[in-house]
Amino acid sequence: MTFRTRFAPSPTGPLHLGHAYSAILAHDMARARGGDFLLRIEDIDRDRSKPEWEAQIEDDLAWLGLSWETPVLHQSERLAAYAAVLEDLWQRGLVYPCTCTRRDIQMAASAPQEGASPAIGPDGPVYPGTCRAAQVRFAPAPLPREALRLDMCRALDVLARRPDPDALGFVETGGGQPRRVAIGAGHLIAEVGDVVLARRDMGTSYHLSVVLDDAFQGITHVVRGEDLFEATQIHVLLQRLLDLPTPTYHHHRLIRDEKGKRLAKRDDARAIRTYRAEGATPQDIRAMVGL
C-alpha cells in the first residue's frame, strides 16, 4: 500500500513554526517511503477563511521546499458530501438537533453533582445531554441554524450489534514503535459524549469533514499534532459507523514558545512570513523546529 498523507491547514491566519514542523514532517515521511503528500485546505469556517491566507500558506510551503499533488482539495467544495452523510445518520437515528449555546453547556456542566468536577473532552466540557431527551426520531431534518450532535450511546449500540464487532482502536506510530491504542465504550460515553457533527450555519464540523475527506483522498497515514490525539477516538468511531478505513496515526510533539505554551496563529512573531522577511532560510526553519 502506498504511503499517503496530508497537511490540512485552515486559511484563517499565517503559518507558524508549529505548522512548518507538521508539514515538513509529513512531507519528509511521505517522500522517504516513496509515497504521496497532499495539501488540503480546511475552509469550512467561511467567515474566517480568507483567500489571502490560503495564498500565503501555499507560498510559505513552497518556500520551505515542499511539493504536493494538484488540484488542492477545498472542504468548501465538499459540503454536499457532508450533507449526504448527515442525512444518512439522521435517518438512522444517530444524530439529533441541539440548540444549546456554549454558555448553556458550561452552566449545565458546572452544576454541582456530588462534588465532582465536570468532565472535559476533546471539545471542552462533555455535553450534558440537554437536547437529547427532547429529540424526535426520524422527523424532518432540522434547520441549518441548529447544530447536530452524535448520540454516542446509540452509535455504540449500533456497533455492538454488528456480526463482527471488532474492538475500537487504532495504530499509533508517534513516539517510537507502532502500538495499538484501544478505545473503550465507557470512556467515549463519560469522557467524550455527544459531539457536534454539524455546527450552526456551517453544515459540518471538523470531526465529520476530516473523517470523510481522509477516506475520500485515500489517506493511509495521518500526521498531526499530539493535541489532536484525544479527538482520534471520535474519528475512529465515525469511521466504523460509516464503514470507512481507519488510517495509521502519527501524533507528533508540539512546538512551543519559551514559556512552554503551544503556538497559535495570532503569534505573528513566529509566523513563517516574519522569519522570511528577517532573512531566514528554509534550513534555518528546519533547525528551529529540530529537523
DSSP 242-267: TT-PPPEEEEEPPPB-TTSPBP-TT-
Task: Give me the residues paired with residue 38 across strands.
Answer: 6
Q: pLDDT tier at 133 (50, 70, 90 boundaries)?
A: confident
How many domains, in total, are found in the chain?
Answer: 2
Are 132 and 247 within one domain?
Answer: yes
Are 150 and 242 within one domain?
Answer: yes
Are 89 and 149 within one domain?
Answer: yes
Residues 46-78 pLDDT 10s:
889 999 999 999 999 999 999 999 999 999 999
Least Cα distance to 188 among 128, 121, 89, 240 occurs for 121
Are 115 and 232 within one domain?
Answer: yes
**What would the DSSP string read from start to end of 190-215?**
III-S-EEE-TTTS--HHHHHHHHHH
Are 220 and 159 within one domain?
Answer: yes
The rounded distance, in Å, linking the Cα atoms of 287 and 291 is 6
Q: What is residue 66's three-state secondary structure?
A: coil
Q: Report the mean per-residue pLDDT for the chain.
A: 90
Q: Are strands 4-7 and 124-125 parallel, antiparallel or unpaired?
A: unpaired
The pLDDT of residue 239: 97
Are 172 and 284 within one domain?
Answer: no
Query: Cell 449500540 belongs to which residue?
Result: 157
Q: What angle, 0 to 180 degrees and rounded to 10, lies between the N-to-C axes of helices 206-216 and 79-91?
A: 110
> Mean pLDDT throughout 268-290?
92
Q: What is the pTM of this model?
A: 0.91
Q: What is residue 109's three-state secondary structure?
A: helix
Residue 9 has pLDDT above 60, yes or no: yes
Are 99 and 186 within one domain?
Answer: yes
Full domain range(s) for residue 180 = 78-255
The CA angle 207-123-81, to the nearest 5 degrees, is 15
E strand intervals along the chain: 4-7, 36-41, 73-74, 95-98, 120-121, 124-125, 147-150, 169-172, 179-182, 196-198, 221-225, 248-252
Are 107 and 229 within one domain?
Answer: yes
Are 138 and 234 within one domain?
Answer: yes
Q: pLDDT tier at 178 (50, 70, 90 boundaries)?
A: very high
What is the C-alpha radius of gyration for the chain, rounded to an integer number of angstroms? 20
Residue 111 has pLDDT above 90, yes or no: no
Residue 95 has pLDDT above 90, yes or no: yes
Q: What angle, 0 to 180 degrees and rounded to 10, lies between the N-to-C axes of helices 152-160 and 232-241?
A: 50
Please name the amino acid found at residue 30.
A
CATH number at residue 262: 3.40.50.620
The rounded distance, in Å, linking the Cα atoms of 54 and 44 is 13
The distance from CA 64 to its chain's CA centroid, rounded to whole angstroms, is: 24
The pLDDT of residue 262: 67
